[in-house]
């Protein structure tokens, strides 16, 4: 029986770190009658900087065995090497997760995949710290190659140098959505705690994940969050968790009978077809421009022209309720393609001459 069931939202909760036997037993009792499907706890903590709480280690695994018995729910922990996989097996852990700092490292992922081969452990794969979908996909594929059946992905957001961001890790929702497109059968859960980094954003981001059709949530929960030894600012009490879950509005998938949705989608389809046609025509014109520039020995990229493009398009965007960041990203893509097209034209012309 797979652990990652189709129950929606599949809820994984528990503290960032196992800290004491009392703390873990409190969690076990609190979750007994809550819609929590799997209990999490960090045993070895991959802290960015030394000098912080680095996890309780093996003795915490004995506490988790008791938690499993009391709560009657499967347990998951983070593993970052093969020795930790062996200990997870020794203490009857049900599932392990690869943390963001592990998914970035294919050698470690491979080591863990090799150690997991032939075991019955279910595996959760967090996205890497950096926004690289290939690393995330690669980790999933290394596990699939070892014939691990029960796999799910966890979206925990992406590191940023932007000190003004309201998130601890930016969600960049397009990346998990693309992962879902690549692996339609793979359950994907949203680790709201590590995205937000703070309590007051947990409810709205959990709702956003539901609106985007995520299969479940991971939410760090601690009996006394203020004194937590790691990630204190983002942990919530079991009581607060229960309230957030009860208030989630679950959206149903649209069905064909939703005629209004179908109509709007058809209109969107034809608008997208038009947008693509126009971009295609724009590129044809860019080729013409490229030929003229090549014949007259004019530089392809001109800083002044690019500045003008950004300024005017941003202004046009504003009068259409499209913000400057969106317009900039859109035109960076278009402009980049234009430059490449002109370089191709230039190369063709110089090959002919």
99 scored as a contact of ligand PEP (CB under 6 A)? yes
The Cβ of residue 327 has, within 10 Å, a number of other Cβ atoms equal to 20
**Beta-carbon contacts of residue 235 (< 8 Å; ≥ 6 apart):** 15, 16, 193, 199, 220, 221, 222, 225, 228
Shortest separation between residue 17's beta carbon and ligand PEP, angstroms = 7
User: Rounded to whole angstroms, what are the CA distances from 126 to 80, 163, 341?
Assistant: 12, 23, 37
Among residues 100, 124, 140, 203, the one that binds ligand PEP under rule CB under 6 A? 100
Residue 335: contacted member of Mn ion, ligand PEP, none (CB under 5 to 8 Å, by partner type): none
Give the H/E segment covering residue 95: strand 95-98
75 scored as a contact of ligand PEP (CB under 6 A)? no
Residue 94: contacted member of Mn ion, ligand PEP, none (CB under 5 to 8 Å, by partner type): none
Among residues 37, 155, 194, 199, the one that binds ligand PEP under rule CB under 6 A? 194
Residue 100: contacted member of ligand PEP, Mn ion, none (CB under 5 to 8 Å, by partner type): ligand PEP
215 scored as a contact of Mn ion (CB under 5 A)? no
155 scored as a contact of ligand PEP (CB under 6 A)? no
231 scored as a contact of Mn ion (CB under 5 A)? yes
User: Segment contacting Mn ion (CB under 5 A): 12-20, 122-130, 176-184, 341-349?
Assistant: 12-20
Among residues 68, 73, 155, 156, the one that binds ligand PEP under rule CB under 6 A? 156
By beta-carbon proximity to Mn ion, the closer residue of 89 and 232 is 232
Contact assessment for residue 188 and residue 209, using Cβ atoms and an 8 Å cutoff: no
Decide: helix, strand or coil at residue 125.
strand
Applying CB under 6 A, the site for ligand PEP has a residue count of 10
Residue 11-40 contact track with ligand PEP, rule CB under 6 A, x = bound: -----x------------------------
Shortest separation between residue 250's beta carbon and ligand PEP, angstroms = 24
Distance, CA of 36 to chain centre:
21
- Spatial distance between the Cα atoms of 235 and 172, rounded to a whole number of angstroms: 22
- Spatial distance between the Cα atoms of 61 and 68, rounded to a whole number of angstroms: 11
The β-bridge partners of 189 are 154, 216
By beta-carbon proximity to ligand PEP, the closer residue of 46 and 106 is 46
By beta-carbon proximity to Mn ion, the closer residue of 19 and 231 is 231
Residue number closest to ligand PEP, CB atom: 99
Shortest separation between residue 42's beta carbon and ligand PEP, angstroms = 5
28 scored as a contact of Mn ion (CB under 5 A)? no
**Beta-carbon contacts of residue 114 (< 8 Å; ≥ 6 apart):** 82, 146
Q: Which of 82, 127, 85, 84 is nearest to 103 (CA)?
A: 127
- Spatial distance between the Cα atoms of 45 and 53, rounded to a whole number of angstroms: 7
Shortest separation between residue 157's beta carbon and ligand PEP, angstroms = 8
Residue 126: contacted member of Mn ion, ligand PEP, none (CB under 5 to 8 Å, by partner type): ligand PEP
User: Segment contacting ligand PEP (CB under 6 A): 98-106, 285-293, 312-320, 334-342?
Assistant: 98-106
Q: Tell the burial category of 90 from Cβ atoms under 10 Å away from its Cβ (0-12, 13-18, 19+).
A: exposed
126 scored as a contact of ligand PEP (CB under 6 A)? yes
Peptide bond into 9 cis (omega under 30): yes
Contact assessment for residue 217 and residue 248, using Cβ atoms and an 8 Å cutoff: no
Give the residues lining the site for ligand PEP (CB under 6 A). 16, 42, 46, 99-101, 126, 156, 191, 194
């Amino acid at each position: 029986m797979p652990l990652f069931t189709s129950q929606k939202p599949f809820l994984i909760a528990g503290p960032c770190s196992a800290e004491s036997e009392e703390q873990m037993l409190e969690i076990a009792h609190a979750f007994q009658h809550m819609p929590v499907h799997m209990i999490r706890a960090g045993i070895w903590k991959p802290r960015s900087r030394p000098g912080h709480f680095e996890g309780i280690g093996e003795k915490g695994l004995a506490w988790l065995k008791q938690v499993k018995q009391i709560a009657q729910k499967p347990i998951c922990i983070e593993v970052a090497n093969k020795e930790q996989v062996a200990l997870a097996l020794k203490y009857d852990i049900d599932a392990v997760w690869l943390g963001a700092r592990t998914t970035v490292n294919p050698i470690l992922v491979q080591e863990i995949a090799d150690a997991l081969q032939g075991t019955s452990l279910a595996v959760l794969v967090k996205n890497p710290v950096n926004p690289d979908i290939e690393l995330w996909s690669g980790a999933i594929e290394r596990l699939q190659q070892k014939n691990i059946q029960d796999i799910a992905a966890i979206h925990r957001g992406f590191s940023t140098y932007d000190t003004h961001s309201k998130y601890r890790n930016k969600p960049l929702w397009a990346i998990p959505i693309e992962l879902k497109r690549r692996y339609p059968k793979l359950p994907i859960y949203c680790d709201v705690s590590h995205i937000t980094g703070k309590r007051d954003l947990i409810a709205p981001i959990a709702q956003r994940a539901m609106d985007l059709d995520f299969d479940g949530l991971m939410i760090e929960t601690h009996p006394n969050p203020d004194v937590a030894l790691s990630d204190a600012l983002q942990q919530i009490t079991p009581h607060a968790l229960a309230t957030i879950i009860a208030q989630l509005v679950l959206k149903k998938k649209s069905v064909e009978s939703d005629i209004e949705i179908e109509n709007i989608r058809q209109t969107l389809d034809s608008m997208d077809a038009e947008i693509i046609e126009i971009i295609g025509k724009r590129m044809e014109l860019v080729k013409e421009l490229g030929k003229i520039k090549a014949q007259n020995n004019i530089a392809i990229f001109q800083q002044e022209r690019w500045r003008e493009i950004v300024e005017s398009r941003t202004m046009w965007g504003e009068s259409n309720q499209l913000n400057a960041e969106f317009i900039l990203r859109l035109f960076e893509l278009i402009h980049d393609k234009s430059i490449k097209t002109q370089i191709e034209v230039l190369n063709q012309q110089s090959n002919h001459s």
